[in-house]
């Protein structure tokens, strides 16, 4: 078990975000899945304070500074919840939230 996703599944992705990782250095045997996914049209974004080795392959490099990553992901979560769960309520999601999460207690 690891703290990261299965690298082979990157090929099936349509949007990949790399944050705080330099896969060319740390996951050398797996990094080819990124280039293969990009060949198939996957968008690849890197959040990194420096233009690292992996950033040179990305579609978009966002030069994050310390402390900005939390604000970025909170904003992304806000958009996802608002657009997909408040503005357009899906019965499957509502049922799942009521049965399998503690989300109702967060309100």
Amino acid 45: pLDDT: 93
Q: Where are the domains of the chain?
A: 1-64, 67-101
Task: Measure the CA–CA gap between 77 and 80, rounded to whole angstroms.
Answer: 5
Residue 4 has pLDDT above 70, yes or no: no
Q: How far apart are CA 57 and CA 46, in angstroms?
A: 9
What's residue 38's pLDDT?
92
**CATH fold label, 1-64:** Dimethylsulfoxide Reductase; domain 2 (3.40.228)
CA distance 67 to 51: 18
Specify the 3-state DSSP secondary structure of 51: coil
Tell me the per-residue pLDDT of 35-89, one tens digit each, with 9 for 90 and over: 899 999 999 999 988 888 889 889 999 998 878 888 888 898 888 888 877 788 8
Query: Is the confidence at residue 1, as pLDDT, over 50?
Result: no
């Amino acid at each position: 078990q690891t703290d990261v996703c299965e690298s082979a599944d990157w090929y099936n992705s349509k949007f990949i975000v790399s944050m705080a990782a330099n896969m060319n250095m740390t996951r050398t045997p797996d990094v080819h899945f990124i280039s293969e996914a990009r060949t198939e049209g996957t968008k690849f974004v890197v959040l990194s304070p420096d233009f690292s080795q992996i950033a040179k392959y990305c579609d978009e490099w966002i030069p994050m500074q310390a402390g900005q990553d939390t604000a970025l992901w909170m904003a992304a979560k806000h958009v996802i919840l608002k657009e997909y769960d408040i503005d357009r309520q899906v019965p499957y999601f509502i049922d799942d939230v009521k049965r399998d999460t503690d989300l109702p207690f967060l309100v």
